[in-house]
Amino acid sequence: MKWLKKNRNIFVFLPLLVPTMASGQDSVEKTPTLSLKYFSSDQNIPYILVQSRYKVGRKFEPVKGVTVLFYLDSVAPSTKITDKATTNEFGEAIAALPPALKNTWDASDKHKFIAEAFGNNEFDGLEADIEINKAKLSLDTSSADGVKTVSVTVTQLENGKWEPVKAVELRIGIQRMESILKIGEEDTYTTDSAGKVNTEFKINNLPGDKKGNLVLVASVEDNDQLGNLKVEKTVPWGVAENPVNNFNERSLFATRGKSPAWLLFMAYGIIGIVWGTLIYLIFQIFKIRKLGTETSS
Amino acid sequence: MENSIILNPEKITADLYPKKFGKAGKIWTVILIAVCAIGLFAYIRQLNKGLVVTNMRDYVSWGIYISNFVFFVAISLVGSLITAIFRLANVEWSTPLTRIAEIIAVSAIVFASIIIIVDMGRPERFMNLFIYGRLQSPIIWDVVVISTYFFISLLLLYLPLMPDLKILNQDPSKNSRFLNHLYRIGGSFWKGTKEQLKINNKAVTTLCIIIIPVAFCIHTVTSWLFATTYRPGWDSTNFGAYFVSGAFLVGAGGVITAMYVFRKAYHLDKYITDLHFEKMGRIVVMLALLYLYFNVNEYLVPAFKMKKPEEEHLKELFTGSFAPMFWFAILVGMIIPIFILIFKRGRRPLPMFIAGVMIMVGAWFKRYLIVTPTLLHPFLPMHDVPESYKHYFPSWEEWAIAAGSLAGALLIMTFFVRIYPIIPIHETINEKNEMAEKK
């Protein structure tokens, strides 16, 4: 009791434990979820990605092997995007817009994508949808007095016209091997009332390809109205790189005819000495033979 | 005591002259031929249907065949130990054992080469190894070293045999027509003149010098086939010395087993004496302790660190599905033979024979454990392979071929003993004369 009295403040924190414990109990339950994402870029035709996952507590676990049907605008045989797609080990499956739906796609500025799971016990009948405005990114560059500027514009289709979209968060960077490198100090930029972002390209001496080209990338990620948008542009703002290719040089890992000279010298030297000695010994046998024949004659 | 028995040259010749097979010898030979025939049948099936008749798949692509290959290469190393090292070190008591060691070396290296071809999915492409071989590849080093070692072992078998061929050629009535023909081709020119002896001795000494580095190379290069591959259990800088020490042990085990069998079968007690067993026993204890030391290095150091990628492999060996075989190989292949042979009573012929057999059996399983578990636990597991690929147990064809190769090696030795003296007659007579002169 003394201990309890002394540490009575501990009771203040008890209510805080309740939600933690509750969430701990929730984590046992697995709720199947289906979600959709829309992707559009200047490099590919638009496509949608479905994610089949279990919601476990606050986390999501991918579910492999969920079969999904995709529709454009409404669930009907005529609006079917694909026959079916099955999610992979990351719980993902994609479907690109088929040519057959071109007219439906062109007919409206806004579209709804619908995904419907079937044939899977827990996911059967589960639906997900996403509504997007047709939008695009355009990327322009200019260079004056040594200052390089990147300008990105976000526009969306409204009544058949491309209108600027303000307050859209986007990223601008350079495509490297595995990620996108920032070109300035900001992680993200927001479009102004003209749907534009202007920023200075501050990176110098960045290795590019053989001609010094870099790939500039602008992207909008997981926007509620526009989905995922991406645009790329190649600019000659890097340093030309001619990587040293030693493929044709002699090395231990080179192909047959390109063994290192020292290895050839050592190996053939040793083989030559050993086999030379053995051939000498064979001659000795013939010498013994000759001596024996001479003795008997 | 045995060494003090006075033996005249006629008696020695009569004792050591090749003898026809008795009933047991015939049965033994028939069994070996039958096992070889089954192995050949299995190999023909493999040729017709492909390597799919084996249980080797994407994970275990080196199975029982390569284990057998490593075993053969290991046992062949004894030729350099008994013949070359002992001869150069002037170890006189080793004379009766030299030919036993050399024929073990030759027969083992022949089947090491054969089993490699058996492991090839397209054996008709064997010559491509020589035509398009890549000198940077340890496989090519192995091809070069094995063919060189085979040739040296053959010469080392033949050159000391020349004086004995003269003895075999002396009385053709003792031999069949075929054997007389064989002896004439091999040694009718040997007259035993001073010049011939001088050249022969010089050639044998040269071979003894040259075979030691080649022998070390053959097993070191075989170990590098594994050690140059980045896999758990093989990624070791210790492998060369580990393999060479293991090879000396299994080779010495093979020699003591053969010593006992030949001594019993041909009543060679006066030539392969208890003293030979005693001395070989001491050598085997030393080799077993040495190999045990390398095993401690090979397993205890990685186990102490227990790096994540090595963990699964080591746990499988120590406590997992390979544990019974692993502990069997350690106990039977090393620890029990050490306990048998460390005591003087254990270094008598029968306990020595038992220890020799244990060493060889343990050594065979040890090679299997070097090859297979590592292949089952790669650093990066393969995706989308059938569950059966993740386990390995040899098919009957693999067992039959492996058994056939072991029987084939024994068959070479058996026929050799029937045709040539297993203990050098000429050298034994000379040694006895020298001993008599000293007295």
Asked if A160 and A88 sit in the same domain, the reply is: no
pLDDT for residue B126 is more than 80: yes
Binary contact (A277, B155; C-beta < 8 A):
no
Binary contact (B196, A271; C-beta < 8 A):
no
- Residue B4: pLDDT band by 50, 70, 90 thresholds? very low
The residues spanned by each domain of chain B are 2-216+243-280+392-430
- Mean of the per-residue pLDDT values of chain B: 92
Name the 3-class secondary structure at A229. strand
For residue B155, which residues of chain A lie inside 8 Å, CB to CB? 278, 281-282
Residue B204 · residue B160 · CB < 8 Å: yes
CB B346: neighbour CB atoms within 10 A?
18
Binary contact (B148, A291; C-beta < 8 A):
no
pLDDT for residue A24 is more than 60: no
Q: Is B229 on the interface with A (CB under 8 A)?
A: no
**CA gap B197, B426 in Å, rounded:** 12
Q: Is B202 on the interface with A (CB under 8 A)?
A: yes
Asked if A125 and A157 sit in the same domain, the reply is: no
Q: Which amino acid is at B426?
A: H
More reliable by pLDDT, B416 or A259:
B416
- Residue A10: pLDDT band by 50, 70, 90 thresholds? low
From the CA of A264, how many Å to the nearest CA of chain B? 7
Candidates B80, B134, B135: best to mutate against A (most CBs of A within 10 A) is B135
pLDDT at position B3: 46
Asked if A173 and A111 sit in the same domain, the reply is: no
pLDDT at position A2: 58
pLDDT for residue A167 is more than 80: yes
> Which of A99, A132, A165 marks a domain boundary?
A132
Show Cβ contacts of residue A51 under 8 Å, excluding neighbours closer than 6 positions.
A33, A34, A35, A36, A37, A60, A62, A87, A91, A92
pLDDT at position B392: 93
pLDDT for residue A42 is more than 60: yes
From the CA of A19, how many Å to the nearest CA of chain B? 37
CATH at residue A98: 2.60.40.1940
Candidates A253, A255, A268, A281: best to mutate against B (most CBs of B within 10 A) is A281
Q: Is B306 on the interface with A (CB under 8 A)?
A: no
Q: Is B195 on the interface with A (CB under 8 A)?
A: yes
**Which of B159, B189, B214 lies at the smallest CB-CB distance from A289?**
B189
The CA-atom distances, in angstroms, between A117 and each of A51, A96, A123, B411 are 11, 17, 6, 68
As given in the structure block, the two tokens for residue B361 are 């059996």
Asked if A226 and A203 sit in the same domain, the reply is: yes
Least confident stretch, A11-15, A27-31, A61-65, A231-235: A11-15
Least confident stretch, A79-93, A225-239, B57-71, B346-360: A79-93
More reliable by pLDDT, A272 or A259:
A272
pLDDT at position B8: 84
Residues linked to residue A158 through DSSP beta bridges, in sequence order? A161
Q: Is B207 on the interface with A (CB under 8 A)?
A: yes
Question: Which residue range forms the structural domain that includes residue A184?
Answer: 135-235
A277 falls within a domain: no
A37 falls within a domain: yes
Q: Is B134 on the interface with A (CB under 8 A)?
A: yes
pLDDT at position A21: 44
From the CA of B151, how many Å to the nearest CA of chain A? 8
CB B322: neighbour CB atoms within 10 A?
20
For residue A271, which residues of chain B lie inside 8 Å, CB to CB? 144, 148
More reliable by pLDDT, A251 or B303:
B303
**Which of A259, A263, A284 lies at the smallest CB-CB distance from B199?**
A284
pLDDT at position A20: 45
Show Cβ contacts of residue B79 under 8 Å, excluding neighbours closer than 6 positions.
B101, B102, B104, B105, B106, B153, B156, B211, B215, B251
From the CA of A259, how many Å to the nearest CA of chain B? 6
Q: Count H helices, E strands: chain B?
A: 19, 0
Mean pLDDT (whole number) for A108-135 = 89
Binary contact (B151, A291; C-beta < 8 A):
no
Asked if A176 and A88 sit in the same domain, the reply is: no
For residue B184, which residues of chain A lie inside 8 Å, CB to CB? none
Q: Identify residues of A whose CB sits under 8 angstroms from chain B CBs.
A: 252-256, 259-260, 263-264, 267, 271, 274-275, 277-278, 281-282, 284-285, 287-293, 295-296
Q: Is B139 on the interface with A (CB under 8 A)?
A: no
**Which of A252, A278, A288 lies at the smallest CB-CB distance from B152?**
A278
Residue in A closest to B210 by C-alpha: A274
pLDDT at position A5: 58
Show Cβ contacts of residue B60 under 8 Å, excluding neighbours closer than 6 positions.
B372, B375, B376, B392
pLDDT for residue B305 is more than 50: yes
pLDDT at position B147: 92
- Mean of the per-residue pLDDT values of chain A: 85
As given in the structure block, the two tokens for residue A250 are 């002699």
**Which of A275, A281, A295 lies at the smallest CB-CB distance from B203?**
A281
- Residue B401: pLDDT band by 50, 70, 90 thresholds? very high
- Could you tell me how many residues make up chain A? 297
A120 falls within a domain: yes
**CA gap B332, B353 in Å, rounded:** 13
pLDDT at position B397: 96
**Which of B148, B189, B206 lies at the smallest CB-CB distance from A293?**
B189
Residue A34 · residue A117 · CB < 8 Å: yes
Residue in A closest to B211 by C-alpha: A274
Residue in A closest to B143 by C-alpha: A271
A201 falls within a domain: yes
pLDDT digits (tens, 9 = 90+) for A57-115: 888 899 988 999 999 988 888 888 887 889 988 899 999 988 888 888 888 899 999 99
- Residue B389: pLDDT band by 50, 70, 90 thresholds? confident
Binary contact (A292, B155; C-beta < 8 A):
no
A276 falls within a domain: no
pLDDT at position B129: 86
Binary contact (B148, A255; C-beta < 8 A):
no
pLDDT digits (tens, 9 = 90+) for B194-252: 999 999 999 999 999 999 999 999 999 999 999 988 899 998 988 999 999 999 999 99
Reduced 3-state DSSP string for B296-353: HHHHHHHHHHCCHHHHHHHHHHHCCCCHHHHHHHHHHHHHHHHHHHCCHHHHCHHHHH
pLDDT at position A3: 60
pLDDT for residue A257 is more than 70: yes
pLDDT for residue A27 is more than 80: no
pLDDT for residue A151 is more than 70: yes
Asked if A224 and A140 sit in the same domain, the reply is: yes
> Structural domain tally of chain A?
2
Among the listed residues A96, A66, A67, A92, the one whose alpha carbon sits nearest the alpha carbon of residue A81: A96
More reliable by pLDDT, B433 or B97:
B97
pLDDT at position A102: 87
Candidates B159, B189, B196, B197: best to mutate against A (most CBs of A within 10 A) is B189
Candidates A273, A288, A297: best to mutate against B (most CBs of B within 10 A) is A288
Asked if A158 and A127 sit in the same domain, the reply is: no
For residue A285, which residues of chain B lie inside 8 Å, CB to CB? 158-159, 203
A150 falls within a domain: yes
Share of chain B above pLDDT 90, in %: 77
**Which of B135, B152, B200 lies at the smallest CB-CB distance from A267?**
B135
A254 falls within a domain: no
**CA gap A281, B36 in Å, rounded:** 34
For residue B200, which residues of chain A lie inside 8 Å, CB to CB? 288
pLDDT at position A26: 46
pLDDT for residue B151 is more than 60: yes
pLDDT for residue B431 is more than 70: yes
